[in-house]
């Protein structure tokens, strides 16, 4: 007759009273705790979450355009969606330029002469190795960041005008609607201390060349008032710094 052996296995993690005594005496190792799977949590359904302003704020421009049909039943969110789209598009307009762009002679017509009619273009003719050119480059780089809706470009003088004399460097040409509106030769035109503010004041003496892209009045006087305000803030700040240095 076959000899059958049955092995009884208790539930995982359970033990007998005898096992417990032996464990306390150190004769048996402690049993590991029974395995418990983590509680089940279904993945969050993004579409079922309540939709509010913050939900719209996290969307890109393309995503907002795709939402047009989904928000027809919610007038508030649809109006807010349109507002956010308008803000995004306006921000893109403001950030149109924002830097001093290097161009070559072959780029000049496209980048300057064919610029849109509502865009003022400030062209710097320069050469490397001239301290006055380096100073004006720094000023225009600063102005380009402050007035991103005005286009600032720089070009080696002889690439723009063959045989242009070095004694005239640096030179600024101001373009609008495919025409030269002003020419400034040398840095002496910008005051005893050539700063971004003094350059801005000279550029806007006749036309509203500088545009920060935030809308509002763009008359020559309005733009000049804004530049004058920044100029005075710079003078006060420099004066305070000079006082602080002398007190040390």
Let me know: does 118 contact 148? Beta carbons within 8 Å: no
CB within 8 Å of 100: residues ≥ 6 apart: 124, 137, 140, 141, 144, 152, 153, 154
At 161-212, the pLDDT tens digits run 999 999 999 999 999 999 999 999 999 988 888 889 889 989 988 888 988 8
**Is residue 247's pLDDT more than 60?**
no
| Model pLDDT, residue 84 | 66
- What gap in Å lies between CA 150 and CA 95, rounded to an integer? 10
- What gap in Å lies between CA 217 and CA 208, rounded to an integer? 10
Q: What is the pTM of this model?
A: 0.58
At 224-245, the pLDDT tens digits run 677 777 767 766 666 666 655 5
Q: Which of 137-141, 172-176, 211-215 has the lowest mean pLDDT?
A: 211-215
| Model pLDDT, residue 52 | 57
| Dihedral pair phi/psi, residue 179, rounded to 5° | -125, 150
- What gap in Å lies between CA 170 and CA 194, rounded to an integer? 12
Cis peptide before 170 (omega within 30 of 0): yes
The long-range contacts involving 215-219, CB below 8 angstroms and separated by at least 24 positions, are: none
**Integer distance in angstroms from the first to the last C-alpha of the chain?**
109
The CATH code of the domain at 101-237 is 3.40.30.10
**Is residue 49's pLDDT more than 60?**
no
Residue-range domain boundaries for the chain: 57-94, 101-237
Convert 145-175 to b/e letters by CB count within 10 Å (16 or more is b): ebbbbbbbbbbebebbeeebeeeebbbbbbb
Bigger pLDDT: 4 or 114?
114
């Amino acid at each position: 007759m076959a000899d059958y052996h049955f092995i009884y296995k208790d539930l995982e993690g359970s033990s007998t009273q005898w096992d417990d005594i032996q464990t306390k005496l150190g004769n048996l190792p402690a049993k590991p705790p029974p395995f418990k799977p983590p509680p089940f949590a279904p993945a969050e359904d993004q579409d079922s979450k309540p939709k509010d302003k913050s939900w719209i704020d996290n969307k890109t421009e393309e995503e907002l355009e795709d939402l047009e049909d989904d928000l027809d039943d919610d007038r508030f969110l649809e109006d807010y969606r349109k507002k956010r789209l308008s803000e995004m598009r306006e921000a893109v307009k403001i950030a149109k330029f924002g830097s001093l762009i290097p161009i070559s002679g072959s780029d000049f017509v496209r980048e300057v002469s064919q610029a849109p009619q509502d865009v003022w273009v400030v062209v710097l003719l320069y050469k490397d190795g001239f301290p006055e050119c380096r100073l004006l480059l720094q000023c225009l780089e600063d102005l380009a960041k402050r007035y991103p809706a005005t286009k600032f470009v720089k070009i080696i003088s002889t690439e723009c005008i063959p045989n242009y004399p070095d004694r005239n460097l640096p030179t600024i040409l101001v373009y609008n609607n495919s025409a030269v509106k002003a020419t400034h030769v040398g840095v002496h035109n910008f005051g005893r201390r050539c700063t971004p503010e003094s350059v801005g004041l000279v550029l806007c003496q006749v036309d509203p060349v500088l545009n920060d892209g935030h809308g509002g009045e763009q008359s020559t006087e309005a733009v000049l008032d804004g530049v004058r305000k920044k100029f005075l803030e710079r003078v006060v700040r420099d004066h305070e710094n000079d006082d602080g240095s002398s007190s040390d």
